[in-house]
Structure 1
Amino acid sequence: MDFGLLLSAYAQQQNGRKLPRQRMLYEALRSAILEGTIAQGARLAATRVLADELGIARNSVLYAYERLAAEGFIEAGRHGSVVAHSGLQKPSSKRLGAPLPATLSKRVAGLRNDRDALKELVAFRPGLPALDEFPIAQWRAAMERAWRGVDASDLGYGGSHGHPWLRRAVADYLKVSRGVRCDIDQVFITDGTQTSLDVAARVLADSGDIAWIENPGYNGARAAFQATGLRVVPVPVDAHGIAPTPEHWRQSPPRLIYITPSHQYPLGSVLSLERRVALIDAARAHGSWIIEDDYDSEFRHEGPPLSAVQGLAADTPVVYVGTFSKTLFPALRLGFMVVPAQLASAISLTMGEISRRGRVADQIALADFIDSGMYSRHLRRMRRLYSERREALLEAIDRHLRDVVTVSGGAGGMHLTVRLDAPLSDVDVAREALARRIIVPPVSSYCLPAPDEHRYNGFVLGYAGVPADSTDGLVAQLRNVIETMVQARES
């Protein structure tokens, strides 16, 4: 194979995207393996030979080969590197014996166009991980191992708790990484955070009870509580997290309190230790339950990791919820909740009524992924990557937007929040930016009206899914949108 031609062709497909040579080589080889251009079982050129052929440093070839091997695309042995038999390559239409139809129905073509348009709308969508960096080959291998162990008895709905292996793996991981106090009987596998919130609301409160949510805060929590008939009361957030006043406790004593303490969504503040302890004490005194959504806590970029509120003391009135959608990929649709021991039977009963567990292979594969150390390695890689992408966004903001926005949060997680200082509505700017295929969700859309409360006006900028080399141009486009709108307002 002419690797020089392969690399040149891949570079031309990147539309001017600038990449280091070692990264370009890795991506070109990865793409060729996935597409079947380099067949399974094919032996790659020796690193020294390929380096000479391409006129690049041997270390660059070593980097590409080592990364491909780490992700399961190639296998290294005494006789060189060979493309792994992973089942990932796509079948060629030439092998199917008949040409594909030339056209699709107008309805299907329209759906495909809509889907393709949505794929392009990434910057700066919050909560979207770096999907292009996910170790697909390793995950596929875990799935294949899982299916080899599945028999007919696993094909039913399964228990409401979730698969025991995954529950145990989640419990062990949370105890070490987040300081959560739990055993396997307290862990429930769910379809994600929304399911966890729905179950918690059904078990812990009755229609008409009060639920506190952060303001601004996660709209999914508001929707889950309102759907179960709860009265939602917004509680303000400041630089130290949720900040209820004595009047809140007297006038609107809550049954449920929803918090995102590790990285408040969307402002990015961290709930201080003093407030964490005070919230637990007040919740106990008022008979309230705290729902702790440990949103993107795995990605802290400044300072040491913070333990969960749930683990601060024994028998805290806390239901701890999390998801793998941010750390792995959204399509996985697996999350978890950790409940106090006395709630386990009630949670199990409710889970059995509203949600039939299944997808046993996915759960086994995830347990394998965690226990093998692949999950932790992936998180370490993503922390480094997201830190780089965060810095790229901060530099671009400083270069292009320093006079029109103020960064107000983002010591961790996958997004930055900025206050819009220009005399414009964040909703209007977001609408204009969307027309240029840039998503900048307005902070005001996360707010509920509250008396005498500051009006938030700004944007939530998700950077996890945005390559660092694309950030500056996108922020420059956002600057152009704001400038154009300011000039139109003044004219």
Structure 2
Amino acid sequence: MKSRPSWAELYAFEINREGEAPLFRQLYLQLRVAILSRRLRPGTKLPSTRQLASRLGVSRSAAVAAYEQLLAEGYTSGRHGSGTYISPDLPEPIAAPPPRHKKPAPRAAAKAEPMQPVGDFVDVTVQSDDRPFNLGRTLIDERTLELWRKLSARTFRSLAPSHFGYSDPRGTSELRKAICDYLQAARAVKCDPEQIVVTAGTQQAIDIIIRILPNRNREVWVEDPGYPLTRQALLAAGATVRPIPVDEQGIDVVAGIRSAPNACAVFVTPSHQFPMGVVLSMARRLELLAWARKKDAWIVEDDYASEFRYGGRPLASLQGLDEGERVIYIGTLNKALFPGLRIGYAVIPHALLKSFVAARYLMDRQPSTLSQAVVAAFMEEGHFAAHIRRMRLLYRDQRDELVAALKTRLGDDLTVDAPDQGMHLVAFARRGLSDLAIERAGREHGVIVRPMSRLYLEAKSRSALVLGFSGHPRRTIVPAVDRLARAVEMQSKFVPRAKASPKR
């Protein structure tokens, strides 16, 4: 009986010996594409590195390097004395592979604006600066701290067998159920635990969504002004970003349809728009959902600070209104608890679930089961709801302290109102003061403020300061405002005061 042909005899490589890419890199990339596209099925045995090198006329070291990279990234596994095999537990392919003999078009051709080096996008030193009034800071009280110690100790004492192996890339079933119960009760989200995917936070969720957006159209709407890291992630992925203006009712859907009617997605913060703090009106919500259904587009709802509403119950989610499963809902526990936790979540429509989970698996395999166990217990035992209630009162007091201090010390230079929700407020500059100049002067006085004018893309910008209040203890707020006032006074010297209008 004739033996079955080996894999090496069946698969055709295309090796470019004059190309810039090293040979091992070419082998690695072609094998990875073949694995992800399922041309090579899970469990398939690969030829030995000696056989592959001889077959292709390359050095054995090139084949060894390619196999080692695939093994390190989890695409293959080794069996002692047997050889190398494609990992049997890889997910289904994310998308159909490109035509085999057709060279992919250069990525640059799909961009509306030139892609910047990723390192130029974000000043990471700003993110870690804890001085007032930097954004995204949180506080935890002694009660939460003690509970966290006890639950962590209990988790480590038990060390269940599940913590020693691989787990579901969506997250543990216990945490997904706890998150699902919370979202249904607090945010009116329509979901079941199967749709919940645990992430490292909203930024990772956004990154995964960008990866699985349909290739037919990489045009997306973003709010203008809006969250800069979302826009920067989209640009880094080569998407065509369409800035859509924001007014007192939220994102202007009519303007979005006029600008890019066939966009494949929109990224919005409807419950507390960043940075303006406005709420997307019901009319706009229905307009947005109708457009998404008509165009088969996706709405990415970033609900980044929904827990902290100071005037009544938290607003219902946009996703809860969606009857066509066009909304991808993302949130985070990093702001509800503390940023070092690195746990967020996404509620994925069924049509995108397989692709999202596959991308999450390939990117990061799975979240830490130990951290998930602590968080799940914290939520299931009622500590999370109690923590939110206490922090809501604490942050409200800090908000009120900041608003009062700003009005007392800077009432002639800034206009500020207490926001109903969120972890930051906006103070609009008067008399032509530059928020950029105040930011620079503030740093010299030990205060961090974000200039809102920098967050605009095409809409007419407004000079305003974005100040976080949630993570700065009340006792530090008034002294920090005093320092900010000195910084503003430095700028006021160079801005002539407007003359009073003559009386008629």
TM category (shorter chain) comes to 0.7 to 0.9
* Residue in 2 that maps onto 1:41: none
Q: Does 1:142 align with 2:148?
A: no
* Residue in 2 that maps onto 1:204: 213
Structure 1 contact 121–438 (Cα < 8 Å) conserved:
no
Q: Deviations over 1:1-56 (max 9, x none)?
A: xxxxxxxxxxxxxxxxxxxxxxxxxxxxxxxxxxxxxxxxxxxxxxxxxxxxxxxx
* Residue in 1 that maps onto 2:229: 220
Q: Does 1:467 align with 2:470?
A: no
Q: Deviations over 1:274-313 (max 9, x none)?
A: 2111111111112210000002011111243211000114
Of 250-259 and 298-307, more deviation after overlay is shown by 250-259
Equivalents in 1 of 2:338, 2:126: separation in Å? 20
1:85-484 correspondence runs (5 A): 121-131=130-140, 135-206=144-215, 209-246=218-255, 248-249=257-258, 251-407=260-416, 410-448=419-457, 450=458, 453-484=459-490
Structure 1 contact 266–460 (Cα < 8 Å) conserved:
yes
- Structure 1 spans left out of the alignment, 5+ residues: 1-114
C-alpha distance 464-182 of structure 1, shift in aligned 2 (>3 A) = same
C-alpha distance 307-478 of structure 1, shift in aligned 2 (>3 A) = same
C-alpha distance 158-146 of structure 1, shift in aligned 2 (>3 A) = same
CA-CA distance at 1:206 after TM superposition: 2.5
Q: Deviations over 1:96-119 (max 9, x none)?
A: xxxxxxxxxxxxxxxxxxx99998
CA-CA distance at 1:473 after TM superposition: 2.4
CA-CA distance at 1:207 after TM superposition: 8.0
CA-CA distance at 1:208 after TM superposition: 5.8
Secondary structure of 1:290's counterpart equals: strand
User: How many matched pairs?
Assistant: 374
Of 130-139 and 309-318, more deviation after overlay is shown by 130-139
Q: Deviations over 1:126-157 (max 9, x none)?
A: 11112466722111111122223333442234
CA-CA distance at 1:489 after TM superposition: 4.9
Structure 2 contact 202–304 (Cα < 8 Å) conserved:
no
Structure 1 contact 207–229 (Cα < 8 Å) conserved:
no
Structure 2 contact 222–268 (Cα < 8 Å) conserved:
yes
Instruction: Give the AA of the match of 2:177.
Output: R
**Cα root mean square deviation, aligned:** 2.3
Secondary structure of 1:245's counterpart equals: helix
CA-CA distance at 1:254 after TM superposition: 1.6
Structure 1 contact 296–326 (Cα < 8 Å) conserved:
yes
Equivalents in 2 of 1:224, 1:310: separation in Å? 23
C-alpha distance 391-153 of structure 1, shift in aligned 2 (>3 A) = closer
CA-CA distance at 1:120 after TM superposition: 7.3
Instruction: Give the AA of the match of 1:376.
Output: A
Secondary structure of 1:336's counterpart equals: strand
Equivalents in 1 of 2:148, 2:321: separation in Å? 34
- Structure 2 spans left out of the alignment, 5+ residues: 1-123, 498-504
> Normalized per residue, which structure has more helix?
1
CA-CA distance at 1:245 after TM superposition: 2.4
Instruction: Give the AA of the match of 1:459.
Output: L
CA-CA distance at 1:445 after TM superposition: 2.1
Secondary structure of 1:439's counterpart equals: coil
CA-CA distance at 1:397 after TM superposition: 1.5
C-alpha distance 426-250 of structure 1, shift in aligned 2 (>3 A) = closer
Equivalents in 1 of 2:332, 2:167: separation in Å? 20
Structure 2 contact 199–343 (Cα < 8 Å) conserved:
yes
Instruction: Give the AA of the match of 1:123.
Output: P
Structure 2 contact 169–366 (Cα < 8 Å) conserved:
yes
Equivalents in 1 of 2:442, 2:330: separation in Å? 33
Structure 2 contact 399–418 (Cα < 8 Å) conserved:
no
Structure 2 contact 219–260 (Cα < 8 Å) conserved:
no
Structure 2 contact 309–421 (Cα < 8 Å) conserved:
yes
CA-CA distance at 1:166 after TM superposition: 0.5
Equivalents in 2 of 1:374, 1:213: separation in Å? 36
Of 171-180 and 399-408, more deviation after overlay is shown by 399-408
* Residue in 2 that maps onto 1:110: none
Structure 1 contact 122–465 (Cα < 8 Å) conserved:
no
TM-score normalised according to structure 2 size: 0.70
* Residue in 1 that maps onto 2:85: none
Structure 1 contact 401–479 (Cα < 8 Å) conserved:
yes
Equivalents in 1 of 2:214, 2:481: separation in Å? 44
Equivalents in 2 of 1:116, 1:148: separation in Å? 37
* Residue in 1 that maps onto 2:112: none
Equivalents in 2 of 1:430, 1:131: separation in Å? 28
